Amino acid sequence: MSVSTTPKSKRFSFYVIAILLPFILLALFEISLRVVGYGKNIPLFIPAQGFAGYMQPNPNIIHRYFADPSIAPSVSPDTVLFKQQKPKDSFRIVVQGGSTAAGFPYGRWASLQGMLDQRFKLLYPNKNIEVINTAMAAVNTYTLLDFVEEIIEIQPDLILIYSGHNEYVGIMGIGSAFAAKGGYAATLIYLKLKSFKVYQWVESMYFKLFTSLNPMSDNKRSLMSKVAKEKNIGLNSALYQAGVEQFQNNLSLILAEYQTAKIPVMLSTLTSNEQDQTPFSTIGTTDWPQFINQQLPITSLTSLEAQVKNTPSAANYYQLGLKQFALNQFDLAQQSFQLAKDYDQLRFRAPSEFNHIIKKLSKEYHATLVDTDAFFRADSTHGIISNQHMLEHLHPNIRGYFLLAEAFVTALQTHNFIDEKPEKITTEQAWKHAPVSQVDQAYGQFKIDHLTSDYPFTTQVKKITPPTPNSFFNQKLVDRINGKDWLTIHTELMAHYQQTNNLSQASLIAGLLSDTLTNNHAAAYKAGQLYFKQKQLLQARFYYRKAIALAPEKINYQLNLAHCYFLLNEFELSESLLKNVLILDPDNTKAPYFLQHVQQAKRATNTLDPNTLDPNNDKNKG
């Protein structure tokens, strides 16, 4: 009697099918969901509406990380347009980071992107430099890591990173109300799976069945008041160490991916307010105004030192720092203030350890270190970061944002990332052209007042009264607060400044409008004219050239640029442009007259009357 047995090959096939079947079913489900259009596709970059051939950062990119967009914080990258097909002559820079890199509270123009754009116009007028900002509030290195592949696809020549303050309480941070479930490894898996429709379906079902709390439901509260979940994270605690590991591991992965793609990175140290920001975890438990205002006897220094030794805490170190500062012990005060920040258990500022990690990883991955913290200290009284450069705990004022950009500019020039000799523009010359309008400055201050009126800056929410629209300026500010669009407000401002002969502000805003209306030649020409009237010839040259690049058929644009070249003693360029005018318009009556004087200037050593070549003067005709 024989026993029937299943051949080994059949048993093997059965096991293979059994193993593969769930994956096959998931694949079929995935395909079905895609066919019916289920779920969301939220790319980092999208086509810019109304600007053919241009892209921009996706204003809804934050929705990528939330099953329901209604629970997402209202944050987004600023609208910055760049060409879909990278020009061969361009040098493309991409900025990554959180709210400081994004320019909060002033917006795009105070950001790294805005400040650098303004510097590059003066430093590298002949170089096409694109700066694309993907930074936004409330994000940390998880989001930066998630953006890397899409950033690589747009072929950047350089990456700038300023990130770390949101590592604990930013989205997916270890101490955030928006923390991912399951720890670090699970969060990395989530970043890989979130684009699959099956995952989105499961996430949506879970959200509907088990999630009822919306941490963003109270629109009157500030974002900072909503995000802190694990309110107390002690120095060297398990949660603290998890945040350190999260920052170090994510930053390593980011740098490794760019290194593999052979894209250089500039990585910045972090800076924050030390002297004038009381530790958040002590607010409501210590009467800081009373302590700061009273003059303690010198013998109390010993008592404070003993307190710190026996009980190292944010409150004790901050008190000690205040006393040491009052006694002119500035180096010791700086150390105490830094330790007060590190011991602050409500972690809205990066601990000092993060700067050590940044310096270490910059060496390990051959990234260029930008020591922004050192830059701020060099410009600060006694080398201590304070309200001199900060609005509150870590967002710089206009001078601070200028210094942040200047730190990157200095490192960029030191390491010769741009293959062109820069113009000789001093830091203080550049500072005079900081690209933030008066309305944007006032609006930024209003946002800071709103931010600091709530937790964690105070235990009781304070009511902020909007300004009274009792002047043209205040009316524009109120319009901005009420949500009127930036473009309309600043177009009205430019007209007002022209009428009141405030050409300094008029030209500044005209330049910002041209930068916003990327492909509008009339806006560029207007900015050139206003800068020219102020005899700001470098800025005028930049915008005249932009106008001509957009509308090369405009003869008057070329005549004005030829005049600008002449006044800058760039006679060859002026002559070439005038000859081009005569090719385009042989009957032009002004060009031959101008050309004669330009050629004379090339030969002569004397200076001609600048008005001789003014194309807007009707007397200058052949």
Counting residues of the chain whose pLDDT is more than 70, the rounded percentage is: 86
Least confident range from 71-85, 103-117, 198-212, 514-528: namely: 198-212
**Nearest alpha-carbon partner for 555 in 526, 587, 531, 600:** 587
Taking the alpha carbons at both ends of the chain, their separation in whole angstroms is 121
- 164 against 225, higher pLDDT: 164
Distance CA 241, CA 235 (A): 8
Distance CA 558, CA 555 (A): 5
In the chain, where the domains are located: 45-275+349-431, 280-343
Residue 29: per-residue pLDDT: 65
Domain 45-275+349-431, architecture per CATH: 3-Layer(aba) Sandwich (3.40)
CB 446 within 8 A of CB 464: yes
Residue 288: per-residue pLDDT: 76
Least confident range from 2-11, 302-311, 447-456: namely: 2-11
**What is the distance, to the nearest Å, from the Cα of residue 125 to the centroid of all Cα atoms in its chain?**
22
Burial tier of 270 (Cβ tally within 10 Å: 0-12, 13-18, 19+): buried
CB 379 within 8 A of CB 315: no
pLDDT in tens, 54-101: 999 999 999 999 888 888 888 999 989 999 999 999 999 999 999 999
Compute how many other C-beta atoms are within 10 angstroms of the C-beta atom of residue 231.
14
The DSSP symbol for 551 reads -
Q: What is the pTM of this model?
A: 0.89
Q: Give the model's confidence band at 566: pLDDT under 50 very low, under 70 low, under 90 confident, else very high.
A: very high
Residue 286: per-residue pLDDT: 77
In one-letter notation, the amino acid at residue 585 is D
Q: Is the dihedral of CA 576, 578, 582, 583 positive or negative?
A: positive
pLDDT at 401 over 60: yes
Residue 393: per-residue pLDDT: 97
Residue 1: per-residue pLDDT: 46
The mean of the pLDDT values for the chain is 89
pLDDT at 613 over 80: no
The DSSP symbol for 46 reads E
**What is the distance, to the nearest Å, from the Cα of residue 263 to the centroid of all Cα atoms in its chain?**
19
> CA angle, corner 484, sides to 103 and 449, nearest 5?
50
Residue 622: per-residue pLDDT: 43
> What residues have CB less than 8 Å from 510, skipping those under 6 apart?
494, 523, 526, 527, 530, 531, 543
Across the range 508-530, mean pLDDT stands at 96
pLDDT at 385 over 90: yes
Q: Can you state the angle between helices 503-516 and 486-499, rounded to 10 degrees?
A: 150
Across the range 13-38, mean pLDDT stands at 72
Across the range 441-461, mean pLDDT stands at 93
pLDDT at 570 over 60: yes
- For residue 467, cis peptide bond before it (omega within 30 degrees of 0): no
pLDDT at 222 over 80: no
In one-letter notation, the amino acid at residue 23 is F
The DSSP symbol for 282 reads G
Distance CA 226, CA 532 (A): 48
pLDDT at 303 over 50: yes
Residue 294: per-residue pLDDT: 59
Distance CA 102, CA 135 (A): 5
